[in-house]
Amino acid sequence: MCGLPLGDEPVWRVVDHENAELVAAALTAGTSLINEAPAFEGPAHRACALYSAAVCPYLAGPTARRSQAVSIPNLVIIDKGEARGPAGAVVAFDGCRAELAHGKLAFFYGQPVDMIEYQRGDDLLDSLAAAVRGEPDDLPRAPAWLRDDEGAAQQAFEAEVQKITRQAKPR
């Protein structure tokens, strides 16, 4: 989201209603959540994930629908038009790894350690404001390629994906 390194803190991800229910049950019971289903959205900082959930039309609205399908044979199929569900969550995980899944970059998240449930993106504005206030004053600026040059942003993105892809183990 911001282009800055993640560091050692937990990684965050926004999840739909079904995944939010699974994570909530695991956290409440104090048990592990073994989820080997790939995700195609990469990890984020807490503030970045909260921002995404607050402003993305699909993530922010309970009646929103996916604008794109995701399909990997024998792994996952998410149809275009699938609903997010009545609620969602911004979830912290103890880690994340990248792998190639049928030629596509996929992310596999570790154990959930925290979550913020919500129904509408507006529900997250106080948490987002607190997360931004909690950021250090000396954060580096976002990389120049994220600012004004779409071509440079695309090239930088493709270079990062190639770097991650070379490091990722084929599944």
Q: pLDDT tier at 62 (50, 70, 90 boundaries)? A: confident
The secondary element (H helix, E strand) that includes residue 91 is strand 88-93
Which pLDDT value is given to residue 27?
Answer: 95
Q: In angstroms, rounded to a whole number, what is the distance separating the alpha carbons of residues 4 and 127? A: 20
Q: Please say if the pLDDT value at position 159 is more than 60.
A: yes
Torsion of CA 76, 82, 85, 91, to 10 degrees: 40
Query: What average pLDDT is seen over the chain?
Result: 84
Per-residue pLDDT for 165 more than 70? no
Q: What is the pLDDT of residues 38-48, one digit of tens each?
A: 788 889 999 99
Burial class (CB in 10 A: 0-12, 13-18, 19+), 28: exposed
- Least confident range of 26-35, 59-68, 97-106: 97-106
Per-residue pLDDT at 155: 83
Structure tokens at 70: 């995701």
